[in-house]
Structure 1
Amino acid sequence: MQKTALTPYAHLPRSHHDRHVLTSTVDVFGAAHWLLTERAPQPGGDVLPFDTLVVSVQPDGDVELTELSAVRARWPHLDRLPDGRFVAAASRARRYEDANQVQIFDALGRETLSFSVGDAIEHLLVDEAGHIWVGHFDENPAGIRRWNATGRLVWTSDDAHIPDLFDCYALNVSGTTAWACPYTDFPLVEIRPNRPDQPVTVRANSVRGAKAVAVHGGRVAFYGGYGEERDRLAHGELTETSVEPKEVGLLSLPDGPAPGRRRVVSRGSRIYVQAEPFSAWGVFDLSS
């Protein structure tokens, strides 16, 4: 089975390796961001809110530091809006976290707005227009939704005729388009809200359990799966109604081993992978 190695992409500067990585992501413009705290959060034992540091590494290697004041989520999702503001969101909306679940921070790290997008966030990704895409896991039947940066719901999968959308396993947001691969049947769902004639296209797909998806032209790649297929990289070609399977291989770290515990972010033709200790991102690019 062919093995494909990730290409090194972005590294957390060594001067910040003494801090705990609370979460990390790669935004729609290719900048990598790390949300850092002095120590790892302890369930039920921390005083909320707390201050954090965002270390941003631009595609050209420039480093930016932003201190976020009074973050309320112990295990947040993070992304950056096109105007430089940051979005931090708690994956669970419970009790006091509900109305304040999503926090918007200005370029100086001050909270300017908060709102709720619903419990059970699996993915949170910002697009080039500044909309916030949220894919939920199976404890929230909301599926996939798109919000603007003021907390207004602007698109929902409720009437999109996506079959058996119980858990958004994979979500890819690039430009203003989203691609998803939801449980239980794992179709490849193309979402273009700005296209009035056909905003959603659903393609049958035989690849099960993928956690990330990359799309380029008429080709697609799925990363991850169940059990022994957790490092699988499955390729396919798009038709009008289905994904036709092609070769299947493995995706590894740049130096050869399997990633183990990891984070993944899907953006257009790219799948970004960050393995423990979460200080570096590697990338697979389907367009290469």
Structure 2
Amino acid sequence: MQKTALVPYAHLPRAHHAHHVLTSTVDVFGTAHWLLADRAPQPGGDVLPFDALVVSVHPGGDVELTELSAVRARWPHLDRLPDGGFVVAASRARRYEDADQVQVFDALGREASSFSVGDAIEHLLVDEAGHIWVGHFDENPAGIRRWSPTGHIYWTSDGASIPGLFDCYALNVSGTTAWACTYTDFPLVEIRPDRPVRVWPNQVRGAKAVAIHGERVAFYGGYGEWPRPSSGARAPARPRRCSSSPGLRGLASSHPGLASSQSWCSRSGTSQTMRKASI
């Protein structure tokens, strides 16, 4: 076990610093995205639809802007689909059948579909196939599920033999494989929809993000350790190599004050890539 310092991965361009950052992420292909609005959302009551701007910084440094029309989420999650569209989801849903909770936008920023995945979203990530992985916190016992962009469930953690799954503390995606660390036992979990779940015991309690590269595992945070990342731990049995190194995704919504007002993404200075945009 060793500690690994994080270094900047991408910056929100200065031209957009006057906007309010609603959330941010790094997609499965390594592009950083920030969801911006003119002002911060107000507490209480329904959210009136508003226009938002996604600023995307590609690994080579190119900047792309996408305007989204009629966004309805107050505390949103964001990720990009392989076809260039975006998924925006409200973390809370007042009713399970709230069809407006998840909005799918096409590459031109127009809403293409909407559906509900249930209350208490802790993590939302899109894999290389365009499927949406959702991990819930403890106010929703749904656990972890994989959805299509049209709202069909393709995989669920029900009956998957994940020990002590009451809260999805950490979730990451590489290729079409998901990796998780869940409360209460905090095992390292590998989820491949076409085969049984694999589980390894883990000594890091309470990690908020996880990344896998080859035979090595990196955990971000943990009880008594937050916000420093711990890395270099070896799994007792070898995890399969990811097709690309997953990043430290899912931190922004959990810890909105991790970075200064200048949004940034981070990765480790070692061979293990750890990607995540933070507010």
TM-score class, shorter-chain normalisation, is: 0.7 to 0.9
Q: CA deviation at 1:239?
A: 2.5
- TM-score where L is the length of structure 2: 0.87
**Contact 2:80–2:87 (CA under 8 A) maintained in structure 1:** yes
Is 1:19 the counterpart of 2:19 in the alignment? yes
Give the % identical residues. Answer: 75
User: Equivalent residues in 2 for 1:82-93 (5 A)?
Assistant: 82-93=82-93
Question: Which of 252, 268, 271 lines up with 2:248 in the alignment?
Answer: 271
Is 1:239 the counterpart of 2:236 in the alignment? yes
Question: Which of 205, 214, 218 lines up with 1:217 in the alignment?
Answer: 214
Per the alignment, residue 277 of structure 2 pairs with: none
Per the alignment, residue 43 of structure 1 pairs with: 43
State the SS of the aligned residue for 1:141: coil
Q: Indicate the structure (1 or 2) with the bigger Cα radius of gyration.
A: 1
In structure 2, C-alpha distance between the alignment counterparts of 1:31 and 1:124, rounded to whole Å:
16
In structure 2, C-alpha distance between the alignment counterparts of 1:12 and 1:284, rounded to whole Å:
19
User: Could you list the runs of 4 or more consecutive aligned residues of structure 1 that deviate by over 3 angstroms after TM superposition?
Assistant: 1-4, 227-230, 267-270
**Contact 1:187–1:204 (CA under 8 A) maintained in structure 2:** yes
User: Equivalent residues in 2 for 1:66-77 (5 A)?
Assistant: 66-77=66-77
Per the alignment, residue 59 of structure 1 pairs with: 59
User: Equivalent residues in 2 for 1:43-192 (5 A)?
Assistant: 43-44=43-44, 47-95=47-95, 98-192=98-192
In structure 1, C-alpha distance between the alignment counterparts of 2:118 and 2:20, rounded to whole Å:
27
State the SS of the aligned residue for 1:15: helix
CA 1:177–1:3: 2 relative to 1, 3 Å: closer
Per the alignment, residue 254 of structure 2 pairs with: none
In structure 1, C-alpha distance between the alignment counterparts of 2:58 and 2:98, rounded to whole Å:
32
For structure 2, the 5+ residue unaligned runs are 252-257, 273-279
Question: Which of 257, 265, 268 lines up with 1:284 in the alignment?
Answer: 268
State the SS of the aligned residue for 2:207: coil
Q: CA deviation at 1:47?
A: 4.9
State the SS of the aligned residue for 1:270: coil
Give the paired residue count.
261
**Contact 1:269–1:286 (CA under 8 A) maintained in structure 2:** no
Q: Alignment RMSD, CA only?
A: 2.2
Amino acid in the other structure paired with 1:282: S
Point out the structure with the larger strand share.
1
Cα deviation, 1:74-118, whole Å, max 9, x if unaligned, reads 110000000001000000111498221100011111111000111
CA 1:55–1:145: 2 relative to 1, 3 Å: same
- TM-score where L is the length of structure 1: 0.84
For structure 1, the 5+ residue unaligned runs are 243-266
In structure 2, C-alpha distance between the alignment counterparts of 1:169 and 1:85, rounded to whole Å:
27
Amino acid in the other structure paired with 1:159: G
CA 1:153–1:2: 2 relative to 1, 3 Å: closer
In structure 1, C-alpha distance between the alignment counterparts of 2:2 and 2:236, rounded to whole Å:
25
Amino acid in the other structure paired with 1:100: D
* Structure with more contact order per residue of length (Cα contacts < 8 Å, sep ≥ 6): 2
State the SS of the aligned residue for 2:15: helix
In structure 2, C-alpha distance between the alignment counterparts of 1:85 and 1:99, rounded to whole Å:
19
Amino acid in the other structure paired with 1:230: P
In structure 2, C-alpha distance between the alignment counterparts of 1:170 and 1:277, rounded to whole Å:
24
